[in-house]
Amino acid sequence: MIREALKVGSKIDGFLIEEKIHSGGMATLWRVSRPDIDVPIVMKVPMILDGDDATVIVGFEMEMMILPRLSGVHVPKFFSVGDYASHPYLVMEYIQGYSLLKKLNESPLPVEEVMKIGGRVATALVDLHRQNVIHLDIKPSNIMMRAKSGPNGEDIGEAAFIDFGLSRHLQLPDLLEEEFRVPMGTGPYISPEQVLKNRSDPRSDIFSLGVLLYHLATHVRPYGAPTAQSQLRHRLWRDPVPPRKYNSKIPPYLQEIILRCLEADPDLRYPTAAQLAFDFANPQAVKLTERAHRMKRDSIKMAMKRWFQTLGTSEQPKQPQVGAAAPAPIIMVAVDLNEGQEQLSEALRSHVARVLTTMPNARLACVNILKLNRLTINYALDDEGRNIHVQRLVELKNWARTLGLSQERISFHVLENADPAQALIEYAQLNNVDQVLIGARGARALRRFLGSVSSQVVAEAPCTVTVVRLPPGGEQEPDVRLEQAAG
């Protein structure tokens, strides 16, 4: 293996070494260039010396396997890889922006900023998990916020993950698990499953994000900075101090989100990153439990009971969840509450009920569009003096009542927009919706000429769209059509 030190001005496989930008315990980063690549790029070279920890080599092998398979704005773009037989390296996009380590040093942050960061990182996790990758080392230094400004100069950059040395691809061999039988992760952020040597659960990333959010909101680490395995095991049985105890400005909905992420039992956390991102985008829809109002930890008696239950537990069964979004999808149903659509509305509700029986962990977002006039005045009150928006919300809840869903599985949204189809499409995009259910009114010549809401949603939605139609004559059995395959 070639081990000579790199230096500015040298070339490797056509890449010109320009500047060393970082030197860590496991790798060195060099700014490089190549004539045929017109974006900033960086070369990552592992620190491989005689006697080094073998996990450095295996971790870099995993990154070399995983990064070329990833795509999208939430990861650095991959360009090239060097073989271990000559000179091991990875060349990837140099993400321009800042790492969340900067924000950690500024904590506690305002609530609005914590929510914004949480939403962006959760959205990035959605994309990562859908590509069958669990990061397993979510921490501030491994999250970059891209430099991107909105029309008014506001920061709108997406979150992007770096350093996949501890990651797991659910469709590739896990070399780290095969070769090492110890917990792997970063002490303050490692999940209980990782402590028990389970590297197959995407909800581990949700736990680690909860630790990060807790720190951003309070400037306190919920589990300190453990170094020994015995200290790591404390999170199996000891709950953290509620964040509102440290920062009274934290609203109940944010504490609910953080503490749900930090549940020791993964079954009590958000089932998917998509559902977590949904709550960040819709804080008014967060279902508050006793977690939201908690002001102290569980009693010592309760903690000791959990401690006894963990005695002798050294490993969790591994159950890889390929396609992590599938078990707990977000389903959006577009409900038409206008007069004359009662029969179609009933048919849509019946179909929703059938779908939910096959997806016990699904979250349902019930959406109605309050159509605004484009040119004329829009009135907030109806003829009886009632607030139209509130009245629609009440009607939407009545429509869903017979579905019998628990509060944490259903939310209601009245969107005010002059373009109903565009409002539904944007909602699906922003909230990582997995499937849209929508009713289609009867075909009329004018509607066929102008185009219907359902047909536009079918054409432009980023996910599967199921259209429910009443057959000719208005019989009760609806005609259900899968109009678009998943994007």
Q: Residue 279 domain-assigned?
A: yes
323-366: pLDDT as tens digits: 444 468 899 999 988 888 888 899 999 999 999 998 888 999 99
Question: What stretch of H or E contains 356?
Answer: helix 342-357
Q: Does residue 49 sit within a domain?
A: yes
Tokens of 302: 């309760």
Instruction: Provide mean pLDDT across the span 449-477.
Output: 76
Q: What is the pLDDT of residues 354-395, one digit of tens each?
A: 999 988 889 999 999 887 765 444 556 556 666 777 788 889
Please check the confidence at residue 442 and state whether its pLDDT lies above 80: no
**Is residue 133 domain-shared with residue 229, that is, in the same domain?**
yes
pLDDT digits 0-9 by tens, 156-172: 899 999 999 999 999 88
CATH number of the domain to which 420 belongs: 3.40.50.620
Tell me whether residue 99 is in a domain: no
- The interaxial angle of helices 203-218 and 111-130, nearest 10 deg, is 160
CA dist., res. 132 & res. 126, Å (int): 10
What pLDDT score does 115 carry? 97
d(C-alpha 421, C-alpha 428), whole Å: 11
Same domain? 129 vs 268 = yes
Cβ atoms of 465 and 457 within 8 Å: the answer is yes
The pLDDT value recorded for residue 48 is: 67
> b vs e for 373-392, b when ≥16 Cβ sit within 10 Å of the residue's Cβ?
eeeeeeeeeeeeeeeeeebb
Quick one: DSSP state of residue 263? -
Residue range 193-238, pLDDT digits in tens: 999 989 999 999 999 999 999 999 999 999 998 888 889 989 998 9
Helical H segments across 151-251, by residue range: 175-179, 192-195, 203-218, 229-232, 243-246
Q: How far apart are CA 34 and CA 40, in angstroms?
A: 10
Q: What is the CATH number of the domain that holds 41?
A: 3.30.200.20
Within 10 A of 108 (CB to CB), how many other CB atoms are there? Answer: 18
Residue 138, both tokens: 């979510």
**Measured distance CA(103)–CA(100) in Å, rounded:** 5
**Number of domains into which the chain is organized:** 3
What is the model's pTM? Answer: 0.83
Give strand pairing partners of 22. 29
Looking at residue 4, its pLDDT comes to: 52
Are the C-beta atoms of residues 74 and 127 closer than 8 Å to each other?
yes
- Listed residues 48, 66, 93: the one ending a domain: 93
Type of residue at 109: L
Same domain, 281 and 157: yes
Domain residue limits at 71 = 11-93
Q: Is residue 353 part of a domain?
A: yes
